[in-house]
Homo-oligomer: A and B are copies of this chain.
Amino acid sequence: MQLLTTLITPACIIDEPKMAANAQRVAQHCEQQGVALRPHVKTLRSLEAASIYAPVPMPITVSTLAEAHAFSEAGYQDILYAVGLSPNKFEQVNTLLNNAVTLTVVIDSTTAAEQLCAQASMLEQPLRVAIEIDVDQQRAGMAAIDPELITVANKIAATPSLIFAGVMAHAGASYGCFDATSRNQMAQQECQQILLAAKNLEEAGLPCAMISAGSTPTVLANASRDGLTELRAGVYATFDLVMAGLGVCSYTDIALSVLTCVIGHQKDKNWVLVDAGWMALSRDTGTQNHAEDCGYGLVCDIEGNVLDGWYVSHTNQEHGVIKHKDGLSPGAAFAYGTMLRILPVHACATAGQFNEYHVTQDNRSIQSIWPRIVGW
């Protein structure tokens, strides 16, 4: 049993009981709302982590075909690859289908449908294809009222080896919703828009078996889910400072942190230097426009208790600079050699900087090491 104090820093720590509590909270919320949950496994890309918040036989969402491959090998049967499919990935998709997986891919244009249909004859098993719907003008997807939606769905439905699966959407704009009212409105908006798309398709004789929406902020909102077949969310497994800044969780819910060690000080500036730079924390500064700008992360003691007002103000590749928001002088809690933990601004980005996670149940020792599925 390895103690946290003996780890080489920086290291990515997962607090397993907190993760389990987060998983339970979202699962219960979805149950109360009467809608199925399809967790997104992209934050941690870990089979062991998923066994807690998305155990087999749950359906899952992935952000890469590398994840789809690893999770299908581990027994996951129902996988949604939620990034628009490109032609150079058709062969990899075919390999996945041959593993007897129910794989759903997404596209959002007539051109993509045409290219997919043209190559569909190479598929040895049927492929489910959903259309991405743009519900918030943030990223990808077709408008719910776009007449081409019917064209795309018809092309898919008419092609042997392809199955028209339905519609999916991600309301990324929910990351700008700082109170429950606006999150409820955004949840309502994503539902209304995707249901409008589904209605238009169904009226054209193209029923949607999948009507899938969600993001961590909207999944935890209160809105009617009538008509949706499922909700999707991912970062809730660990939460992070962006989610805390929105009010979706509290700091004490955050299940991921970066263990670091004090390597020096600049006394005239009240700076503490640590060995976690952006290579460990990531370059994400996603709370810049929040009421509390957490810089590159908030500072905790080695057991994970937040040290009020201390944050990582700037970073180099392997150096982090910790300051107090009111310019206080760091005392004995920040002595040379002290181990600290940094709460991540954006857990998906921070986790992505590591190839493995050190898992603790008591915040003192490490019970397991979970590998991360890497690459694309």
Q: Which residues of A contact B (CB under 8 A)?
A: 5-11, 42, 63-65, 83-89, 92, 107-109, 111-112, 115, 132, 134, 137, 139-140, 172, 261-266, 269, 273, 275, 278-280, 282-285, 316-319, 321, 335-337, 339, 348-349, 352-356, 374-376
Q: Is B263 within 8 A of A336, CB to CB?
A: no
B139–A321 CB distance below 8 A: yes
Residue of B nearest to A65 (CB): B8
| A353 and B352 form a contact (CB under 8 A) | yes
Query: Out of B269, B279, B335, B339, which one reaches A352, CB within 8 Å?
Result: B279
Check A337 against B263 for contact (C-beta < 8 Å). Answer: no
Which of B108, B109, B282, B376 touches A8 (beta carbons < 8 Å)? Answer: B376
Bound together, the chains give a CA A375 to CA B353 distance in angstroms of: 9
Interface secondary structure of A, over-half rule = loop
Identify A172's interface contact among B8, B266, B316, CB under 8 A.
B316
Given the complex of chains A and B, what is the CA–CA distance between A265 and B86 in angstroms?
12
Given contacts A84-B263, A172-B316, A279-B352, 8 further A-B contacts (CB under 8 A): A8-B88, A11-B376, A63-B317, A83-B263, A108-B264, A111-B335, A279-B349, A317-B349
Q: Which residue of B lies closest to A335 (CB)?
A: B111
Bound together, the chains give a CA A317 to CA B63 distance in angstroms of 8
B349-A283 in contact (CB<8A): yes
Question: Please, which residues of chain B bring their CB within 8 A of the CB of A5?
Answer: 88
Ranked nearest first, the 8 interchain pairs of A and B with the lowest CB-CB distance are A84-B263, A283-B283, A86-B261, A111-B336, A87-B337, A283-B284, A63-B318, A83-B318
| Closest Cβ neighbor of A84 among chain B residues | B263
Copies of this chain in its oligomeric complex: 2
Bound complex: CA of A283 vs CA of B287, how far in Å? 13
**Chain B residue contacts of A264, Cβ below 8 A:** 84, 107-109, 112, 132, 140
Residues of B within 8 A of A335 (CB): 111
Asked if B86 contacts A337 (CB within 8 A), the reply is yes
Whether the pair B263, A88 counts as a contact (CB closer than 8 A) is no
15 contacts between A and B (CB under 8 A): A7-B88, A9-B89, A63-B318, A84-B264, A86-B261, A86-B263, A86-B336, A87-B261, A88-B261, A111-B337, A112-B264, A140-B273, A283-B285, A317-B348, A356-B375
**What chain B residues lie within 8 Å of A108 (beta carbons)?**
264
Contacts of A352 in B (CB 8 A): 279, 353
CB contacts (< 8 Å) of A282 on chain B: these are 282-283
A9 & B86 in contact (Cβ 8 Å cutoff)? yes
- Rounded to whole angstroms, the CA-CA distance of A264 and B354 in the bound complex is 30
Q: Are B283 and A336 in contact (CB under 8 A)?
A: no
Assess the A42–B317 pair: CB atoms within 8 A.
Answer: yes
Question: How distant is A319 from chain B, measured CB to nearest CB, in Å?
Answer: 6
Kindly state the separation between the CA atoms of A159 and B155 in the bound complex, as whole angstroms.
78
With a CB–CB cut-off of 8 A, which chain B residues contact A349?
278-279, 283, 317
B8 touches A336 (CB 8 A): no
B273 touches A84 (CB 8 A): yes
Contacts of A348 in B (CB 8 A): 317
User: Please, how many angstroms separate the alpha-carbon atoms of A92 and B6 in the complex?
Assistant: 11
- Kindly list chain B residues whose C-beta atoms are within 8 Å of the C-beta of A64: 318
Per the bound structure, the CA–CA distance linking A108 and B267 in Å amounts to 12
Contact B88–A337 (Cβ < 8 Å): yes
Contact of A265 with B109 in the complex, beta carbons under 8 Å? yes
A315 to B: closest C-beta gap in Å: 10
- The residue that A336 contacts in the complex, of B63, B112, B317, with Cβ under 8 A, is B112
Q: In the complex, which residue of chain B has the Cβ closest to the Cβ of A63?
A: B318
